Amino acid sequence: MESILQNIQWLLLQRDRFTLFSSVSFSSFAVIIGIIFISYVPYLRCKIKRFIRIQIRKRLIDQLLRPGDKDGFVSYYRNSLCNLQKVNNDLLRKILKKNHSCAYLADQSISFLSLNKDSSFISNEDEYLFINEFRQKLPLTTYENYRHYIDRMVDGGEKNLLTSDKIVYYASSSGTTGKVKLLPITLAMFKHTMKLFRLGQIAVWRSLPASSYPLHQQRAFSLQSGKRSNAFFRSKDGIPIGPFSQSFSVLSVFPGLKLLSTCVGVINYELIEGISDFETSRFVQLVFALTVKDISHYSATFASSFLHTIKVIENNFEEMCLCISSNDFNHSSLVQENIPDIKFRAKLNQALENIILEYGGSSYGSERIHHIRRECLKKNIPGLLHRLWPQLGFVSTSIGSSFVMYKKEIEFYCGAHLPLINFPAYGASEAFFGSLASIHT
């Protein structure tokens, strides 16, 4: 009996040992799987984000920009450019009708008799009379003719002085030609400017071979500026004031524009807004650009700024490579000096790490750094931009007028096979001057 009990006890003990072993083994396996899964969570998260980004790019953004027989440029050309005089006259008539009661015209005792005519019954002679009347009553003026009214709008919050439309932004001039000027911007003006800029972008793609259109997964680099909404100077009634280039931080043609821009660009626009010093912002943006190997196109609005981005890479590529290899912008003295917020630096580091994970992780980062160093160490050899980003389709900046002086040097950095294209649109705080119709203009 004792032996039977001993046997049963032994069997139970063996069972407990087996259960204990099984439990420990299963738990250990679960822990190992958990550790592996946790270690891959950031990688998986980045891959999921990449998939979503590509789908948004494929199904929305590329549908808007990819040219076709029915694209925006074709309709704009047919409806506007082919009827330029009539379109201009109709727009002028519309503006004057809408703003006939504003203080500026009232103070000048200006009214337009020809506005009372039904536009559907206006003859060519009536059009000439209308234009002549406009020229006589509103001759060419300077900003000083309007400064007093704009000061009242900004400092006093007065309405209906120059326009009956709501002002949404005051664009500040650079001040290079004198005292800084503030130009009132309405939402309609902002939307029209964005439309013309988009038409310029479409014109670029229309002029290039269809095979050069970027793949859905590719990103683009465009040097940008912006700042947080609470950092803007504001008028008495709370309207933001700043360069037109920063208006995107507080204005949007439609919700989600910043998110969509992240699907195309190399860096989240909200991160750009968080860097107040532009030199530091440019450095950070270029680090992100260098991290991405398959950039489709590279642009900066003005040729001088474009050229400076290349000089920054040439002079700081070792420091930039350190930032990329460690996913840490603390290797940059510029970042340490001008971004004191440690939490914000951590956001930059995380965003940089996510980009590297999206493209393959640490092995990709090491290969990319080796490539950057190898190409940047080749001094006085043409085509640095093409060598850094072999999949670049073109580069773009303003190279007309006074900027033509930079063209030859930029072409050196492009090399023989990378097209240099004029910027899709040319504007300033004072006005929108033009939109590109073809890369050959």
In this prediction, residue 123 carries a pLDDT of 63
* DSSP characters over 333-345: HHHHHH---HHHH
In this prediction, residue 407 carries a pLDDT of 94
In this prediction, residue 84 carries a pLDDT of 82
What region, left, alpha or beta, does residue 327 occupy, with left being phi > 0 and alpha being psi -120 to 50 degrees?
left
Give the integer Cα–Cα distance in Å for 73 and 376. Answer: 39
Q: Phi and psi for 396 in degrees, rounded to 5?
A: -145, 135
In this prediction, residue 199 carries a pLDDT of 81
Classify residue 297 by its DSSP letter. E
In this prediction, residue 374 carries a pLDDT of 97
User: pLDDT of the chain along its 441 residues, tens only?
Assistant: 434 333 433 333 344 444 434 443 444 444 454 444 444 577 777 777 788 877 877 777 776 666 665 566 777 777 877 888 888 888 888 888 888 889 998 888 877 766 665 555 556 666 667 778 788 888 888 899 999 999 999 999 999 999 999 999 999 987 766 788 999 999 988 888 888 888 888 888 888 887 778 888 899 999 999 999 999 999 999 999 999 888 888 887 666 667 777 778 899 999 999 999 999 999 999 999 999 999 999 999 999 999 999 999 999 999 999 999 999 999 999 999 999 999 999 999 999 999 999 999 999 999 999 999 999 999 889 999 999 999 999 999 998 888 899 999 999 999 998 999 998 887 766 666 777 777 776
Query: Would you say 306 and 243 are in contact if contact means Cβ atoms under 8 Å apart?
Result: no
In this prediction, residue 10 carries a pLDDT of 34
Give the integer Cα–Cα distance in Å for 439 and 424. Answer: 9
Is the CA virtual torsion 318, 320, 325, 330 positive or negative? positive
Tokens (6 digits) for 249? 């931080």
Tokens (6 digits) for 216? 């859905």
pTM: 0.82
